[in-house]
Structures are given as C-alpha cells and as structure tokens.
Amino acid sequence: MKKSKQFWPFILLAVLVYVVIQVLISTEMMNQFYSNTLILIAINIILAVSLHLVIGITGQFSIGHAGFLAVGAYVSAIITMKLQLPFAVAIIVGGVVAALAGLIVGIPSLRLKGDYLAIATLGFAEIIRIVFLNIDAVGGAAGMQVSHLTTWTYAFVCLVITLVVIVNFTNSRHGLAAISVRENEIASDAMGINTTYYKVIAFAIGSFFAGVAGALFSHNFYIIQPSQFGFLKSFDILIFVVLGGLGSLSGAVLSAILLTIVSTYLQGYPETRMIIYSLVLIIVMLYRPKGLMGTMEITDYFKLWRTPKGGGQHEK
Amino acid sequence: MKNKPLLEVKNTGIQFGGLKAVQNLNMVLNQGELVGLIGPNGAGKTTSFNLLTGVYVPTEGDILFNGERINGLPPFKVTRKGVSRTFQNIRLFNELSVLDNVKVAYHSIAKHSIISSILRLPSHFSGEKEMEEKSIEFLKIFSLDKYKDELAKNLPYGQQRRLEIARALAANPKLLLLDEPAAGMNPQETKDLMDLIAFIRNKFDLTILLIEHDMNLVMGVCERIYVLDHGQLLAEGSPEVIRNHPKVIEAYLGEEVHDVNA
C-alpha cells in the first residue's frame, strides 16, 4: 500500500522529464550530441538496474551481463534488418531471447556460488560473443550494419518499464524471497523458499532487460561488432552496480548516469581517459566504500528529512 | 499415551566418502513430545538434523513424516510439509528488519504470482497485506513487535535466538528442530529460553526435537532423550535412565568411573 503512494509521483516525474527533453530535442534546442548522451544514459541505466536485480537483490555474483546484451543486440538487429519487422517487435523479441539465454545459462550455473558462479557466467558470456563472431550471416568479426532507429522516446519508455518492473518485483513477497537468498541461502531454504527458482527467475528477468538494452544499443550505433560485447563491457556494467552501492537501485541509477557522463566527457582526451576514469572509481571507493548510496534508496533520504532531528528510527 | 508417531527414522545413515557420519539411526517421535538429542562433539547430531530437513540425502534408510517419505525432498519442500528448524550458529537475514525476517517464513501462505506483483494487481495488495498483518500479529506473541523495524543484526544475542525460533514457527511447523538453542547464553537467558520452549509448546501444539549441550536444560525440559556417539545411537530413554546409563557415562566421561553424581 505504501508503495503505491510513491508510484504516481514517480510516473508524474517520468512524464515531466520525458516531455521537457522531448520538447528540447524537437525544437532543436538540444543538439544531437546531448540527445545521444541521454539515450546512452538510458541504456546504461537499464543495464545497471537489470544487473542490480541479479547481484544487489539476489546476491548472485554474475559478471557475464554483456553476453545477454549481445544476444539482445544481435537478435533485434536480425529482426529489423533481415526480417524487416518494426523496431518495437525487435525490442521485445530481443528481450525474450536474452531471457531464454539467461535461463539456459542460469539453470546449470546458478548451482555454483560466489567466485565459481562469477567465472561460469564470464565464460558463458564469452561463448555467446564467440558464437556471434563465427556466424557469417551476422557479419562475423566485421560486424553487422544496423539502421539508426533508437529515439529518445523508445529509450525512455523502455527505461521506465524496466524501473517499474524491477521496483515492483523487489517490493513484493518475491523480492523479499530473493533478498533472503542473498542474506542467507541456507536459512532461506529452511524457511520454505525455493531458492533455485528465485535465483533463476531473477537471472532471467535481469537477462530480459539486458536484451532490451541490447536492442536499443544496436540501433543506436549503426554497426555492431562482437568486440563491443567483451568482458570489459560486462565489467563496465558491474562497476555501475558496485559503485552505486550493492543492493541500492537508486545507487545503480545514479552511478550509471555519473559514469556515462564522465566517460562521454573524457572522450575528448583519449590519452588520459582510462586513467581519469579509474581515478574516479578509486576515489569513490575510498571515500564511499559501500558505494555511492550504500544500501539506502533515495526515498529513504526523503523519509529521514521528514522525521525531526534525532527522532528517526534509522538513526545509527 | 499419545497416538501415531509423527516422525519415524528407520535405519537411516549417511556416508561421506569412507566416513560413516551417521549410521543405523532409529528414532520415533510421537505427536506432542519434547525429545532431546545429545552426544559428545562430532557425534553426528547436526548431521542428523541435516538429514531430517533435507539438507543431506540419506545414503541408507528412510525418514517418514506423518507416514510420508521425506528423504530426498529438497529442504524447502520438507519445510512446507511441516518440519522447521533453527541453526547452531544463528542464521537470520541480518540486513532485513525483524518484521521482514518473519515475513519470509510466510512466503508460501500468500499465493499472488510474480506477474500480479509486477502489474500491481489487487491480488498483490491483498496477499502482501495478509503477510504483513500475520507477521505483526506473530511478533506480538513473542513480544518482538517493538523491534519490528530494527535490523535483525542489531538485536541483542538473546533476542536474535528468540527471533530465530519465532521465524521457524512462523513457517507453521508440526515438528520443530532446535539446534543448540542455548549455545552462548547466560543462565538467565537459558532460563528465559526454557520458559519460551514451554510456552510455544502449549501455544502451537508442537512436537520438538532439541540438540543441546546444556544438561540442565535437556534434563529439565525433555521427556525422552536419544544419545548419539560416533554416528550411532547409544541409548534412549527418560532423563533418569540416561543420567544413569553406563554407556552414556562412558561416552561422556570415559571408562572406569564410579560414583557419578551427574
């Protein structure tokens, strides 16, 4: 019940943000560079939030997210370029196929824990990449040409749907079950929670949205190549989640925005780009070892502001 | 006397490689009994619990609960059949509130699906509300409701034990397995625990199996005691019988001991 109070203000805010930016774009007060950065931010937020569901909520340390991004990217590209179907269909099918890939990868590998799971998911992501590398129909290493179809509207609608689905999942008995798996899998099992089921479901939902992000991604860059989906891409997504604070959705969103802006800005300085980017990461981790937001959400801060000083129950 | 047995363990055992951790375990628990399981360190007590709750699959024998075979079922299914447990080392969901800890145990009473939660259908709200209300009601029984928004890890030790027992009971078990509930407690906390065990037994119509090293507690509350040593059942009987059982004394204190006033 409480959550529905937050829901409508959120939708209102989302519509407002959308309208303002859409007006700016259509009146050409905002140039191509900025609107492209905004689309990139939206894609990165979708990626960050979908991995947050797997790592932050369910506690399964998966570092192969770029694999599902690749599945979404290639499948959607095939649908628009080879089958000439509309982009909206491509987004949905890209997500569904990525979710299926998530199921196939997740069912065997989610029996593993911690480091072993990380290695297994990393391996699966590389397998997916190499499969695309060796399929000539999608261009192999040279890549595949994709027409530019991603607009601010598509990106933003997908972003809002992603956020709503993941927030609603988290704030339900299912989300609580997933969190209990993160907190203590043995106890969760002993409380009657089907832990395997929730791990696989979270993984599949995460993969679905990674696939959606992949569809937006491939139709934003004119060309996709397997080298764009290597393990470095997986680590980029992982960094969003860790830097934002494990278990904090708003943290993942914030750090995705922050890091996208930093890395876009640094493109003007290619020699020092990675050095400065790494320094930003080190500085944040030194001063905020639990990530930007820790385990807090933005809404928690609102609650703290409302309670009189020293009277809040969460004061620690 | 009580009627048909709730739990029957028949010649059950488990072997890890060459090591027979538990063998030929035979136990019968009747409805409403409070039974103790004792034995020296490494005797196989916790292993037996893990066999009963499905964490381990027995390599021999059968476990019948309510006349139904439960060996081979995964732990969450065993819990749903009505066997709930606590752990030797407290295993709470530390970063969750006290209320949410109990809510997890109510997971399977609500039936709303993932889709209905994502779309926020009416069944989501009614299901979540039911879980919330039942959990708060339940915390009141254990007078833990004043801590409901506190994180579980911030509770004092004794209260954490209490919460763990409350959480196990929220899963609505017929059989409750307590693994060293008094470990690390001071005498006052142990006394409170004994009161709590007596209280829950009356309140919830429970059968309890208890592992414990604190002999005051075991002898004080248990009606019957099983003694394990080296993975085998050594003795069985009332506290009086066990106290004077020569083999038990031998296992605990060594041979050739006379005049033991336990």
Residue A311: pLDDT over 60: no
Return d(Cα A308, Cα A310) in angstroms, integer: 6
Give alpha helix (H) positions in B151-238: 157-170, 187-204, 215-221
Is A168 in contact with B83 (CB distance < 8 Å)?
no
| Residue B58 within any structural domain of the chain | yes
Q: Is pLDDT of B207 > 60? A: yes
Answer yes or no: do B16 and B37 share one domain.
yes
Mark yes or no for CB contact A313/B92 under 8 Å.
Answer: no
Which residues have CB under 8 Å from B14's CB, separation 6+? B20, B21, B22, B47, B51, B56, B57, B58, B59, B60
Q: A17-21, A291-295, B187-191, B242-246: which has the minimum mean pLDDT?
A: A291-295
Q: Are residues B139 and B174 in the same domain?
A: no
Task: Calculate mean pLDDT across residues B6-35.
Answer: 91
| For A247, nearest residue in chain B (alpha carbons) | B95
Which run of H or of E encompasses A224? strand A223-224
> Could you tell me the pLDDT band of residue A2, with boundaries at 50, 70 and 90?
very low
Q: Which residues of B touch A194 (CB under 8 A)?
A: 74, 76
Calpha distance A57→A179 (Å, rounded)? 5
pLDDT band at B260 (very low <50, low <70, confident <90, very high): low
- Whether B18 and B84 map to the same domain: the answer is yes
- Measured CA to CA, the distance from residue A52 to residue A296 in angstroms comes to 14
Of A173, A184, A187, the CB nearest to B128: A173
Q: Give A313→chain B minimum CA distance, Å.
A: 8
Give tens-digit pLDDT for B113-146: 999 999 888 999 999 999 999 999 999 998 898 9
* Candidate from B87, B95, B107 with C-beta closest to A177: B107
Q: Taking Cα atoms as reference points, which of A208, A265, A260 lies closest to residue A45? A: A260
A-chain residue closest to B152, CA distance: A183
pLDDT tops 80 at residue B45 = yes
Q: How far apart are CA B151 and CA B93, in angstroms?
A: 9
CB-based contact (8 Å) between A288 and chain B? no
Collapsed DSSP state (helix, strand, coil) of residue A190: helix
Q: Are residues B77 and B178 in the same domain?
A: yes
Q: What is the largest CA-CA distance in chain A?
A: 65
Over range A230-241, report the average pLDDT: 91
Q: What pLDDT shows up at residue A266?
A: 87
Q: Residue B59's pLDDT band (boundaries 50, 70, 90)?
A: very high
A187 touches chain B (CB under 8 A): yes
Amino acid of residue A242: V
Nearest by CB to residue A176, choosing from B76, B103, B168, is: B103
> Is there a single domain that holds both residue B50 and residue B100?
no
Q: Do B118 and A189 touch (CB under 8 A)?
A: no
pLDDT at B102 over 70: yes
Which 3 state secondary structure label does DSSP give B6?
strand
Which residues of chain B lie closer than 8 angstroms to A190, CB-CB? 53, 75-76, 79, 84-85, 87, 91, 168
Instruction: For residue B198, tell me if it sits in a domain.
Output: yes
Measure B58 CA to nearest chain A CA, in Å.
17
| Averaged pLDDT for residues B5-29 | 91
Residue B40 falls inside a structural domain: yes
Touching B: A residues 7-46, CB under 8 Å: 7
> Are B47 and B163 part of one and the same domain?
yes
Nearest-by-Cβ selection for B76 from A174, A184, A195: A195
SS3 assignment, position B179: strand
Range(s) of the domain holding residue B126: 96-150
Domain shared by B82 and B172, yes or no = yes
Report residue A302 as tokens.
Answer: 């609102």
Q: Does A183 touch chain B (CB under 8 A)?
A: yes
- Provide the strand spans (E) within chain B: 5-16, 19-30, 34-38, 60-65, 68-69, 83-85, 175-179, 207-211, 224-229, 232-237
The hierarchical CATH code for the domain A2-306 is 1.10.3470
| Chain A contact set for B167 (CB, 8 A) | 191
Residue B13 has pLDDT above 50, yes or no: yes
B211 is a domain residue: yes
CB contact under 8 A, A168 and B119: yes
pLDDT class of A296 with cuts at 50, 70, 90: confident
A307 CB near a chain B CB, below 8 Å?
no
* Domain-located, residue B53: yes
Residue of A4, A11, A172 best to disrupt the B interface, most CBs of B under 10 A: A172
Average pLDDT over residues A247-275: 88
Let me know if residue B189 belongs to a domain. yes
A141 neighbors A157 (Cβ within 8 angstroms): no
Res A139: pLDDT? 86
**Among positive and negative, which fits the CA dihedral A260, A261, A264, A265?**
negative
What is the mean pLDDT of the segment spanning A5-30? 84
Q: Do the Cβ atoms of B93 and A174 come within 8 Å?
A: no
Token representation of residue A168: 């609603």
Mean pLDDT of chain B: 89
Nearest to A173 among B93, B107, B150 (CB): B107
CATH code, domain with B220: 3.40.50.300
Whether residues B167 and B211 fall in one domain: yes
- Of A164, A176, A190, which is closest to B85 when you measure between CB atoms? A190
Q: Please tell me whether residues B177 and B101 are part of one structural domain.
A: no
Dist. CA A259–CA A53, nearest whole Å:
19
Minimal CA separation from A50 to chain B, in Å? 15
Q: What is the pTM of this model?
A: 0.89
What is the rounded CA–CA span in Å between residue B140 and residue B154?
19
Interface test with A, best of B46, B108, B114 (most A CBs within 10 A): B114
Instruction: Please tell me whether residue A88 adopts helix, strand or coil conformation.
Output: helix
- What is residue B95's three-state secondary structure? coil
- Residue B113 sits in the same domain as residue B89: no
* Contacts with B82 from chain A: Cβ below 8 Å: none
CA distance linking residue B25 with residue B241, whole number of Å: 19
Taking one residue from A and the other from B, the number of pairs with CB-CB distance under 8 angstroms is 108
Residue B262 has pLDDT above 70, yes or no: no
Contact state of A191 with B105 under an 8 Å Cβ cutoff: yes
Q: Do residue A186 and residue B87 have CB atoms under 8 angstroms apart?
A: yes
Residue A301, token pair as written in the block: 């801060």
Q: Does A4 touch chain B (CB under 8 A)?
A: yes
Test A247 with B92 for CB contact under 8 angstroms: no
State both tokens at B105.
């145990």
Residues of A in contact with B95 (CB under 8 A): 179, 183, 247, 295
DSSP reduced 3-state for B4:
coil
Taken as a whole, chain B contains a residue count of 262
Residues B225, B240 contacting (CB under 8 angstroms): no
> Is B260 within a domain?
no
Question: Average pLDDT of B186-215?
Answer: 89
What is the tally of structural domains in chain B? 2
User: Among B150, B172, B195, where does a domain finish?
Assistant: B150
Residues B66 and B109 in one domain: no
Domain contains B173: yes
Are B76 and B103 contained in the same domain?
Answer: no
- Range with the largest mean pLDDT of A71-85, A101-115, B176-190, B247-261: A71-85
